[in-house]
Structure 1
Amino acid sequence: MNNLQQAIDSFLQHCRYEKNLSEKTIYFYNLDLIQFKSFVFNNSYPDVIQEINKHHLKHYLREISGWKIKTVKRKIASLKAMFNYLEFEDIISVNPIRRIRISLKEAICLPKALNKEEVKAILNEAYNSISYVPKSKYAYLEKIRNATVVELLFSTGARVSEIANLKLADLDRKSGSLMLRGKGNKERVIQICNAGALALIEIYICLFEDKIIASGGYLLINRFENKLSDQSIRNMVNAISVKAKISKKVTPHTFRHSFATLLLENDVDIKYIQAMLGHSSIVTTQIYTQVNQEKQKQILTDKHPRMDFSLAVA
């Protein structure tokens, strides 16, 4: 193995067949590494993997420095992962990316969450829309499915890709427990506890069971008996939110933020929220402690010991 393309191909095969990484992760690895390969070609740098050095990498980092920090971090992570693999396999003797010090600080963007009234308005719209359509029409089935999607998003706090990839076998219909597969194919189980949500899911399954089987077992499907795409779910959530007259932009991830924020406001331990969201680090979850300033004001008004002292200037 000498050239860069061979190194990329070998690394991606390792990711797919040995590490069993998700197709989404492999897609972005491939995207980032092919972009790096184009940079190497356009600058007439050596295509021999053993000859790529830290100066080539530093030039590449300067080239992409104007991109969003999150994107730059991902591209660096892709390069690190490949060069670490090549070093481990003794394909290269010197890992060029180890010799580069990188410091990127990303501005903290606080997630936008819905309050309880906004969540209720969206759920009301999803449920009420069912009654507007005759049961004999396919649109009735779609309305049932759409409401089921909203219930799943808010009940579980799952990522849109986790919801889209659900299979019927992932749901224990007796207990209400749901198996989610997150980043890196990490599995976690979350319980759906609301009786109304469970009843709707059961109605949906009964109506769609034949189509679910025809789709290969995917839980959420379209009229062509294929699984719903991430984008279809985004469009669906946006349409329902607009009809519910929610002024802010609502995405599936908004429900994830709302799930975490509202649980935190109800004094749920952040470690439990971390586990339910599938965060590998508590640091990721801690951003939700900064979200709701009104809750902070309420806590300090009700709980701060200074409120026990009736002192004032005469």
Structure 2
Amino acid sequence: MRDVPANLSAALSDFVRHLRSEKRHSPRTCEHYQRDLQRLALWLAERELRDWAELSSHDIRRYVARLSRDGLGGRSIARHLSAIRRFYQYLLREGLARDNPALDIRAPRSGRRLPRVADVDQISQVLDAHPDDPLDVRDLAIFELMYSSGLRLAEVAGADLTALDMSAGEIRVLGKGSKERVLPVGSKALAALKRWLACRPAMVSTATETALFVSQRGTRLSRRSIQSRLARWGILQGASQRLHPHLLRHSFASHMLESSGDLRAVQELLGHADIATTQVYTHLDFQHLARVYDQSHPRARRRTTDRTGCEAEEGRSGQ
């Protein structure tokens, strides 16, 4: 592994191979473990520690402090610690460590960050375009689909042509944990997809290409390309904030919950295994509801007397 001393990288490579072959983890999961543990290995090399068995719980605490100084939040540090604990379980099994130094170390708490969303008018501004270029036709179809069905970046990039049922207005996607779900596709997205499907045959390199969205080379469009094309699209359409795939997914969830109030339905649409993950959107929705309440409910405002002796209303937040 690049820049990691050989005596540290060997065990790390074996661990990643173990995750891939024995535990059957996805390539992306293995990549995350490798990246996080490679960062630890580089830190060890800086401190001239040459063996994984030399690492102590005191060292782990210092490493956590380093991650915090580098700007990582509580959740990111918790992910790093989880990777270290898992790695040392493997090292103990292989006789390459005497204990698990991260076993009782906990990440610092961080405040719960609410996901950023775009309002309906902003989304309309971005998506109400009429492209002629085939690449822009493809991009609009991708963005409409992501907002219409709340797809993750990996889900839209991995979607196959056969997963889309235009007549039923549905798409079948493979989510986290290889769980499949069928989602409705809105009329605007269906219209954009229809225009893209008319352009797609001229772009595919072979008749055997299964990807719904392909690049100029005729192969499956990568996640990185979708990210960069969405950011570019936002700039061209004059968006007031940087556009990224999860912004469309967050906006879908927030707008659906605001309109329906059905948390369970939004959970199913998003593919969340735990409803607690979906509940973050209730906080966003409550902010909107609180403003409406303050403005509309007759008992949300109390009456005060101004200097002239006339009654005046004061908002709930002023109580």
Q: TM-score range by the shorter chain?
A: 0.7 to 0.9
Q: Is the contact between residue 46 and residue 52 of structure 1 (CA under 8 Å) also seen in structure 2? A: no
1:237 match: 230
Bigger helix share: 1
CA contact (8 A) 1:212 1:218 kept: no
Code of the residue aligned with 1:108 in structure 2: it is R
Change over 3 Å in CA distance of 1:311–1:57 after alignment to 2:
closer
For 2:69, what is the secondary structure of its paired residue? Answer: coil
Task: List per-residue Cα deviations over 1:92-118 (Å, max 9, x = no partner).
Answer: 5532221x3314222333222122222
Which whole-Å deviations, capped at 9, do the CAs of 1:242-291 have from their partners, x for residues lacking one? Answer: 33333222222211111011011113322322232233333332222222
1:52 to 2:55 alignment: yes
Q: Which residue of 2 aligns with 1:290?
A: 283
| Count of aligned pairs | 297
Tell me the TM-score normalized by structure 1.
0.80
1:202 counterpart = 2:194: yes
**What is the identity, as a one-letter code, of the residue corresponding to 2:88?**
F
Is 1:11 matched with 2:15? Answer: yes
Q: 1:49-94 CA deviation, whole Å, 9 max, x = no partner?
A: 4443323323322332312214323322221222234446676553
Please list every run of 5 or more consecutive structure 2 residues that lacks an aligned counterpart in the other structure.
Answer: 1-6, 306-310, 312-319
For CA contacts below 8 A with separation 6 or more, give which structure has more relative contact order. Answer: 1
Within the candidate set 271, 274, 284, 1:278 is matched to 271
Q: Structure 2 vs 1, CA of residues 159 and 294 (structure 1 numbering), >3 Å: closer, same or farther? A: same
Q: State how 1:12-161 maps to structure 2 within 5 Å.
A: 12-47=16-51, 49-67=52-70, 68-69=72-73, 70-87=75-92, 92=97, 94-98=99-103, 100-125=104-129, 128-130=130-132, 139=133, 141-161=134-154
Picking from 159, 169, 181, the partner of 1:189 is 181
Take 2:248 and 2:182, find their aligned partners in 1: how far apart are those partners? 15
The whole-number CA distance in structure 1 between the counterparts of 2:77 and 2:144 is: 35
1:209-268 CA-partner distances (Å, limit 9, x unpaired): 464473732221111113223232223223333333332222222111110110111133
Whether contact under 8 Å (2:149, 2:185) holds in the other structure is no
Closer/same/farther in 2, CA of residues 274 and 90 from structure 1, 3 Å limit: farther
Q: Distance in 2 between matches of 1:210 and 1:85?
A: 50
* 2:172 and 2:180 in contact (8 A); partners too: yes
The answer on whether the counterparts of 1:45 and 1:56 sit within 8 Å (CA) in structure 2 is no
Aligned to 2:235, the other structure's residue is in SS state helix
| Partner residue in 1 for 2:255 | 262
Q: Does the aligned pair in 2 maintain the 1:115–1:258 contact within 8 Å?
A: yes
Residue deviations 1:126-161 (CA, integer Å, cap 9, x gap): xx233xxxxxxxx2x222211111111101212223
Structure-2 separation of matches of 1:288 and 1:165: 26
Aligned Cα root-mean-square deviation (Å): 3.1
Change (3 A) 1:202 1:97: same
SS in 2 for 1:163: helix
Shift of 1:299: 4.7
Q: Equivalent pairs: percent with the same residue?
A: 25
Aligned residue number for residue 316 of structure 2? none
